[in-house]
Structure 1
Amino acid sequence: MDRRDFFKRTGLTLAAGALLGPRVLADEAEKRVVQEELSGKILNYNPRMQYRPMGRTGVDVSALGFGMLRLPMQANGSVDFDQSVAMVRRAIEGGVNYIDTGRVYLNGQSEQAVGKALAGGWRDRVYVTSKSPWWAMERPEDFEKFFDESRRAIGTDVIDFYHIHMIMHRGLNEKVVPYKLIEKMEKLKADGKIRFMGFSFHDRLQLFKKVVEASSAWDFCLIQHNYLDYEYEAGVLGPKYAAANGMGVAVMKPVRTGFLANLPQSMRDALHSTGVEKPDVEWALDYLWDIPEVSVAVSGMNSMADVEANLKYASKARPNMLTPDEREALGATIRAFRETPGHIDCTGCYQCIPCPHNVAIGYIFAYVYNNYLVHKDMKRAMSDYTIAMSPIQRGAPASACVNCGACLEKCPQGLDIPNLLARVKETMGK
């Protein structure tokens, strides 16, 4: 829009200017012009949502993404599709344009829920992601099979953001490299079947860097990060390294699979120690949105109330948004967590893996056992331990330890890992 068009539009509201004043009128007119320009540039633009560039892709994504793993369920164990569809569409109405699902999520029902939610014209308003599970592949051709199954379930010809799911040391060595999955991703992109290629990640920072450097065609990555686990897996340095390589950064589990959404009182008191009062979830999301390199925080939402609350928080999302007092409060909260009696001071750096007996040491200590100590919720802990941690994806339970001691010299914290695994086995029963 040139200067003449701008003043032509503002002249149409000249009468209103007599009431509002010339400065207010000019500000409102300029705001409308900016919003119209953004609406033409940003998919599903809503002025109440914040948007961020997704690396070299050239697209802007909503600061809040909808994670389709923790949908409302029915008593029979099936997804409540009616609730899920309503929630997704409300999020889209609120400006969300990034919907994250995966082939294996909820036994395939997650992709089906996305397909139902986006039917009837909603598909054109969002970017859809999905993921290819290496551990489920028995032969290289399964990659194309899983991709086509995902497209059919979602009801789309093109998947916008496609991942190799959950790259870890075992996956990289056993399937990703031998099955040439990165090359297959590059071909999908060249053929126009996906718009952007990336990977999700669960391992140590050194391996993350290796994967980033494995292809110049990576457009984005999906990592786990939150304020409690600033050293865990790719950690706080992961987004910076990915962004330095031109990649967009999506972050999963911003509330640590619900842990940071319902804090114990000691941690909540630490958050509020500097006088800043916010809901637990808002603290967790603000921490991520404060990081300039983070493109989108993918949040699993289980109810319409979750959707409405997260839309409200996302309307205020800004890079570098935290004050010094808020940063201090987050530090105090981390200390409160680590001072929990019996806490294992493991950062989940994964220096101890691969274990000769495939024990998922870092995940067991940093994610399962320490969470249990704080909340004393055995049902939740066993879900993290037995459902979210398969022997193929993450590794074996503490009971698989044979006290060989191979891990001892690798641990930067100098932890007595075999004895600590024995404590976990006694507590968790396996």
Structure 2
Amino acid sequence: MNRREFLKSAALVTAAGAMFGKGSVLKAAEAPAGPVLNFNPQMQYRPMGRTGVNVSALGFGLLRLPILADGKTVDAEQSVAMIRRAIEGGVNYIDTGRVYLGGQSEAVAGQALKGGWRDRVYITSKSPWWIMERPEDFEKFFDESRRAIGTDVIDFYHIHMIMHRGWKEKVIPFKLIDRIMKLKEQGKIRFAGFSFHDRLGLFKEVVESAPWDFCLIQHNYLDYEYEAGCLGPKYAAANGMGLAVMKPVRTGFLANLPPSMRAALRSTGVEKPDTEWALDYLWDIPEVSVAVSGMGSMADVEANLRYTSKAKPNMLTPDERKALGAAIRAFRQAPGHIDCTGCYQCIPCPHNVAIGYIFAYVYNNYLLHKNKKKALFDYTVSMSPIQRGAPASACVNCGACLAKCPQKLNIPELLKRVRNDLEA
């Protein structure tokens, strides 16, 4: 069955899905209804909320593709082979974005999907608010994405990386929700959604602001309270939305665990590769539709396909849950660990310091692995001042954050420690 035939046969399913109103709970634990695009018996598939379509439990995120020796050019030949191998294995959810890898991600996706491969998958992309200078840039970036991917219709389209600054300074003033819904009305996108990086309170506000079809959040077993946290999936599902989850291995951290965490996982007698532990945690959550994994090699693709063949909601045993708890404790017991959950209650900071991201994501990872090169990448390259905020050195010790912190952390003093370790 090609994509056009599939879409015709799925029309009734999609129409039925649209009937589910606010407050409906569509969980991946339910058996997929209707046809499955690019079906492979070794792959697991889950309903994507009210969209009416079924997505592979494993999605391919095209942000961490292999790079050539020059350190900046995507290895297109290897990447195309990886994407097509994933599709052969039953993956039907390919995730990219306008700014990923300087635009190379969408271009490589376009190469990989030529020759009939496009008919076998749902393609996603994202509109980056932080480089918009005027509202009309939204449509401009969308058309650039369509041309790069080589498709008339983008299946799942996001407003990219909604955070407190972008929400207040671009999404609302530029009426981006109206604009994305107009694309859907025009048939240029099939489903409208957003990706998210901020506190749970803002997540709820964004969810309530529009009849979204889906969302993309960061979640993994370490980030139980970070950003939208463990309640985010339930809140999205309660509003009928499909849920994609990014960073299942926390940008590689959970795929290469420090000895203390690996020993904790093995303490209950369960043996699995580090990455499998991370993915199984997400697949165990009934509300998760698809775990989007950034795969950087063919070995990653093959391994993840093996893991996905066993993926089921509520799949973890009591011993496995106990092991994950032990690993979390090992992480939090690292010398110097900052007990920050990334709840983001401390932001916005008057001086735009990215407090929660710096503590919960960058610095605590650094303490366990002592990989300064990786920490500096997360701290300087990934932490754009426009998006997440400014570095620790921007703190002026005003103390505005102190009363907001549920953990009662001495944030200015801890920022001094980060500055000394990562900015010296």
Q: Do the two structures share a fold, i.e. TM-score over 0.5?
A: yes
1:407 matched to 2:401: yes
Find the counterpart in structure 2 of residue 114 from structure 1. Answer: 109
Number of matched residues?
A: 393
Amino acid paired to 1:313? Y
Distance 1:262 1:403 in 2: 36
Give CA-to-partner distance per residue, 1:278-309, whole Å, 9 cap, x none: 00000000000000000000000000000000
Alignment-mate amino acid for residue 130 of structure 1: S
Post-superposition CA distance 1:171-190 (Å, at most 9, x none): 00000000000000100000
Deviation at 1:200, TM superposition (A): 0.2
2:353 partner letter? V
Q: Which residue of 2 aligns with 1:188?
A: 183
What does residue 416 of structure 1 align with?
A: 410
Equivalent in 95, 118, 131 of residue 100 of structure 1:
95
Question: How far did residue 429 of structure 1 move?
Answer: 1.1
Query: What are the within-5 Å matches in structure 2 for residues 265-344 of structure 1?
Result: 265-344=259-338
Task: Provide the C-alpha distance between the structure 2 equivalents of 1:145 and 1:324, rounded to a whole number of angstroms.
Answer: 50
* Distance in 2 separating the partners of 1:307 and 1:111: 19
**Partner Cα distance (2:262, 2:390) in 1:** 33
Q: Percent identity?
A: 81
Measure, in 2, the Cα distance between the counterparts of 1:141 and 1:62.
34
State how far apart, in whole Å, the 1-side matches of 2:173 and 2:222 are. Answer: 35
The aligned residue for residue 14 of structure 1 is: none
Q: Which runs of 5+ in 1 are unaligned?
A: 1-36
Q: Which of 69, 72, 75 is the equivalent residue of 2:66? A: 72
C-alpha distance in 2, partners of 1:180/1:38?
35
Aligned to 1:128: 123
1:175 aligns with 2:170: yes
Quick one: which amino acid aligns to residue 223 of structure 2? D
Q: Is the 8 A contact 1:282 1:313 kept in 2?
A: yes
SS in 1 for 2:37: coil
1:90-147 residue CA offsets vs partner (Å, 9 max, x unmatched): 0000000000000000000000010000001000000000000000000000000000
Amino acid at match of 1:125: R
Give, in whole Å, the separation in 2 of the partners of 1:282 and 1:346: 26
Query: Normalization by structure 2: what TM-score?
Result: 0.92
**CA positional deviation for 1:56:** 0.1
Q: Distance in 1 between matches of 2:293 and 2:278?
A: 11
The one-letter amino acid paired with 2:40 is N
Q: CA RMSD in A?
A: 1.1
Q: Determine the structure 1 residue equivalent to 2:3.
A: none
Q: Where does the alignment leave 5 or more consecutive residues of structure 2 unmatched? A: 1-30
CA contact (8 A) 1:226 1:287 kept: yes
Q: Give the CA deviation at 1:149.
A: 0.1
Contact map agreement 1:39 1:45 (CA 8 A) in 2: no
Q: Is the 8 A contact 1:38 1:45 kept in 2?
A: no
Give, in whole Å, the separation in 2 of the partners of 1:324 and 1:415: 33
Aligned to 1:30: none
Give the letter aligned to residue 171 of structure 2. Answer: V
Q: Structure 1 residues 135, 228: CA separation in 2 closer, same or farther (over 3 Å shift)?
A: same
5 Å-filtered alignment, 1:21-60, equals: 41-60=35-54
Name which structure has the greater RCO, CA cutoff 8 Å, separation 6+.
Answer: 2
Residue 221 of structure 1 aligns to a residue whose secondary structure is strand
CA distance in 2, matches of 1:215, 1:319: 28
Other structure's SS at 1:328 match: helix
Is the contact between residue 46 and residue 94 of structure 1 (CA under 8 Å) also seen in structure 2?
yes
| 1:374-405 CA-partner distances (Å, limit 9, x unpaired) | 00000000000001110000000000000000
Structure 1: distance between partners of 2:331 and 2:40: 38
Please give the alpha-carbon distance, in whole angstroms, between the structure 1 residues aligned to 2:336 and 2:32.
51
Aligned CA distance change for structure 1 residues 417 and 39 (closer, same or farther; 3 Å): closer
